[in-house]
Structure 1
Amino acid sequence: MSLRELVVLGTASQVPTRQRNHNGYLLRWDGEGILFDPGEGTQRQMLMAGVAANDITRICLTHFHGDHCLGVPGVVQRLSLDGVRHRVFAHYPASGRQYFDRLRHACPFHEVAEIHEEPVDRDGPVAAGAFGVLEARRLDHTMEAFGYRLVEPDGRRMVPERLDAFGVTGPAVGELQRNGVLDVDGRTVRVEDVSVPRRGQRFAFVMDTRLCDAVHELAEGVDMLVIEATFLAEDTSLATEYGHMTAAQAGRVAQESGVRQLVLTHFSQRYDEPARFHAEAAEVFDGDIVVAEDLMRIPVPKRRP
């Protein structure tokens, strides 16, 4: 059975608190483990959350502010310390290549893990595989930043009653799925005869940014949107000045973009009532809202019927 869930490692913004570590989010997506924005302390948070270095297949940085990247040295060194044998891909804004190099080689260590860097310099696909397509969009922050979107290809769901009606059983089901057509006792059966369309699942990760077109493009039709809500609406002017969003803006994006589940995170230390973020977003979004907490595990919503 496939596992698709978000493991929340940290939910603070620039300043951590007693309850909130700096950023860090691991998306488990079948065989992939995509670590987004590992901030300071991520390695310890991984231990607390039961996440192993071997779980990581990709590291995705939205930008190079410290609360989103200062955990890279520890994570990179842990990959080698634990002898991770698979290649780990690193995606980050190409304009910050020198910063990634400094983080990756912050101090001497015995490097045995293979990290393959794939800097992002434009909107569009940055990786593809059995998991689908990983895309990036340039955001509007005080320095170059990118948001990410994971799109699984659409497919088809086999209907047991139709398979029985056409006499397709056992290994023949897999053969029909692979080839799209099958001969059953002299009758041609097409995969469309025994299945229904299945929409691929979608996930988006949006951190430090002002409200902009790219935010909507990333959020469009996703099953789970992980998005910053650094400020509340009462501080909208501060959000705009510093290149951030409010919970109300995040909720409006989710509503307008057809998001199924909204995960709010990256909270300013100035607020000590998490329920206010939920209440503000709920005024404009009528879907599922999660106010992220450190070490929380959030399943990706099941597929639509």
Structure 2
Amino acid sequence: MGPSFLPRLVNGPFDDPALFVPFRHQHRALLFDLGDITALAPRDILKISHIFITHTHMDHFAGFDRVLRILLGRDKDLFLYGPRGFLANLSGKLAGYCWNLVEGYANRFTLHATEIHPDRALSCQYPCQTGFLADGGIRESPFDGIALREPALTVRAVHLDHGTPVLAFRLDERFRINIIKSALDRLRVPPGPWLNRFKALLYEGANPDTIVRIPATAGPSLEGMSLGALKAAIARVSPGQRLAYIADAAGTPENMKKMVALAQGADHLFVEAAFSDNDRDIARRKNHLTARQAGRLARACRVKQYSLFHYSPRYSDCPEMLEMEAEEAFRG
């Protein structure tokens, strides 16, 4: 029974931040931060449905042009999230190109952007066929800490200080549904897209008596089963996966308190470790975490696993120093 999310950092620890999170057995992925993503294949970029951006410093947002170029001329809705000022930054990016040919595109490609403030969210959409001009104005709604809410998952966002407002994110799977292949074989039921519908009904909390239609190839004796009976027969439900992503944040007591609350109990924490504790004064001036702070954070959150990234180039000859420093702090 494998995990539902298969996260991986796009680049090495000295390169731009970007966390790619594909979904197992689905043509879908999430992306956290959008630095240089030339290492991502076009087929991976085409899977991305939502992008969560901590802030728009160049090393966290420069990959937007590659995403835009690959998605042009395709039927696609892409959702992006960022902190205060994000809509203006995104509009500026889009205004930097001439779009006189896109009105003839047969495909419909639309960007849906949300700027997250501590108490509200500002949303706007940018259709390709209008040259990415903002459509319908900016819509304001209350923000309750959840950037994305779906039946199977949520993405939470918390505001941190980096000398500028930045976001940190947590991805929560409600619960995990594993299909028992041997049970399908016993019922002579084929796997296929119908299982996605079955899982969706479970995540929606549908009535157990709901009939789930099964492909005709299962044979005339089995056209459908009740959701409850099918769940008991072919599914194993287990606790969901939790991932946390923290980049570019000062190691202040207020920030640390927020980060601990966000990443508590994470299966995998992805956290920056820009400087050694020997250079903590530099880290403080630049509003970054040290490797020791990253390790202490992972320990305080009782995470099962953590990955460090976003190292300062001053450690290019000794990255193991940051890794050892974080590990010592993690083990206490």
The one-letter code sitting in structure 2 at the alignment partner of 1:206 is I
Aligned to 2:164: 143
Once residues 53 and 241 of structure 1 are traced to their aligned partners in structure 2, the CA distance between those partners, rounded to angstroms, is: 35
Aligned to 1:76: 68
> Alignment partner for residue 306 of structure 2, among 251, 262, 265?
262
Structure number with greater CO (CA < 8 Å, separation at least 6) is: 1
| Matched-pair contact (CA < 8 Å) for 2:295–2:330 | yes
For the pair 1:38 / 2:34, whether they are aligned, the reply is yes
Mark the CA change 1:58 to 1:140 in structure 2 (over 3 Å): closer, same or farther: same
Aligned to 2:111: 115
Mark the CA change 1:3 to 1:86 in structure 2 (over 3 Å): closer, same or farther: farther
Once residues 91 and 191 of structure 1 are traced to their aligned partners in structure 2, the CA distance between those partners, rounded to angstroms, is: 35
Q: Post-superposition shift, 1:196?
A: 7.8
Matched length: 263
| Higher alpha-carbon deviation: 124-133 or 26-35 | 26-35
Aligned to 2:55: 63
User: Secondary structure in 2 aligned to 1:230?
Assistant: coil
Once residues 170 and 118 of structure 1 are traced to their aligned partners in structure 2, the CA distance between those partners, rounded to angstroms, is: 46
Alpha-carbon RMSD across the aligned residues, in angstroms, is 3.4
Once residues 87 and 255 of structure 1 are traced to their aligned partners in structure 2, the CA distance between those partners, rounded to angstroms, is: 38
Mark the CA change 1:84 to 1:267 in structure 2 (over 3 Å): closer, same or farther: farther
Q: Post-superposition shift, 1:106?
A: 2.6
Aligned to 1:228: 272
Aligned to 2:45: 53
How does 1:11-26 map onto structure 2 within 5 Å? 11=12, 20-26=14-20
For the pair 1:241 / 2:237, whether they are aligned, the reply is no
Q: Post-superposition shift, 1:227?
A: 0.8
Mark the CA change 1:193 to 1:252 in structure 2 (over 3 Å): closer, same or farther: farther
User: Secondary structure in 1 aligned to 2:112?
Assistant: strand
| Higher alpha-carbon deviation: 30-39 or 200-209 | 30-39
User: How much identity, in percent, do the aligned residues show?
Assistant: 25
The one-letter code sitting in structure 1 at the alignment partner of 2:146 is P
Once residues 234 and 21 of structure 2 are traced to their aligned partners in structure 1, the CA distance between those partners, rounded to angstroms, is: 33
Aligned to 1:133: 154
Once residues 159 and 51 of structure 1 are traced to their aligned partners in structure 2, the CA distance between those partners, rounded to angstroms, is: 29
> Alignment partner for residue 210 of structure 1, among 239, 247, 250?
250
Q: Post-superposition shift, 1:6?
A: 2.2
| Matched-pair contact (CA < 8 Å) for 2:265–2:302 | yes
Once residues 89 and 133 of structure 1 are traced to their aligned partners in structure 2, the CA distance between those partners, rounded to angstroms, is: 14
The one-letter code sitting in structure 1 at the alignment partner of 2:305 is Q
Aligned to 2:78: 88
The one-letter code sitting in structure 1 at the alignment partner of 2:240 is G
| Matched-pair contact (CA < 8 Å) for 1:181–1:190 | no
Once residues 198 and 24 of structure 1 are traced to their aligned partners in structure 2, the CA distance between those partners, rounded to angstroms, is: 28
User: Secondary structure in 2 aligned to 1:270?
Assistant: helix
| Higher alpha-carbon deviation: 218-227 or 189-198 | 189-198
Once residues 303 and 158 of structure 2 are traced to their aligned partners in structure 1, the CA distance between those partners, rounded to angstroms, is: 17
| Matched-pair contact (CA < 8 Å) for 1:73–1:105 | no
Q: Post-superposition shift, 1:34?
A: 1.5
Once residues 227 and 37 of structure 1 are traced to their aligned partners in structure 2, the CA distance between those partners, rounded to angstroms, is: 12
Q: Post-superposition shift, 1:277?
A: 1.8
Mark the CA change 1:263 to 1:199 in structure 2 (over 3 Å): closer, same or farther: same
Q: Post-superposition shift, 1:192?
A: 9.0
Mark the CA change 1:53 to 1:154 in structure 2 (over 3 Å): closer, same or farther: closer
Q: Post-superposition shift, 1:26?
A: 1.4
> Alignment partner for residue 250 of structure 1, among 294, 308, 331?
294
Once residues 60 and 195 of structure 1 are traced to their aligned partners in structure 2, the CA distance between those partners, rounded to angstroms, is: 31
Once residues 196 and 23 of structure 1 are traced to their aligned partners in structure 2, the CA distance between those partners, rounded to angstroms, is: 35
Q: Post-superposition shift, 1:144?
A: 0.8
TM normalised by structure 2 equals 0.68
Higher Cα radius of gyration = 2
| Matched-pair contact (CA < 8 Å) for 1:11–1:24 | no
Aligned to 1:300: none
The one-letter code sitting in structure 2 at the alignment partner of 1:5 is L
Once residues 176 and 66 of structure 2 are traced to their aligned partners in structure 1, the CA distance between those partners, rounded to angstroms, is: 39
Mark the CA change 1:138 to 1:181 in structure 2 (over 3 Å): closer, same or farther: same
Mark the CA change 1:139 to 1:254 in structure 2 (over 3 Å): closer, same or farther: same
| Matched-pair contact (CA < 8 Å) for 2:291–2:322 | yes
Aligned to 2:124: none
TM normalised by structure 1 equals 0.74
Query: For residues 224-260 of structure 1, what are the alpha-carbon distances to aligned partners after superposition, in whole Å with 9 as ceiling and x for unaligned?
Result: 1111101111111211221110111111111111111
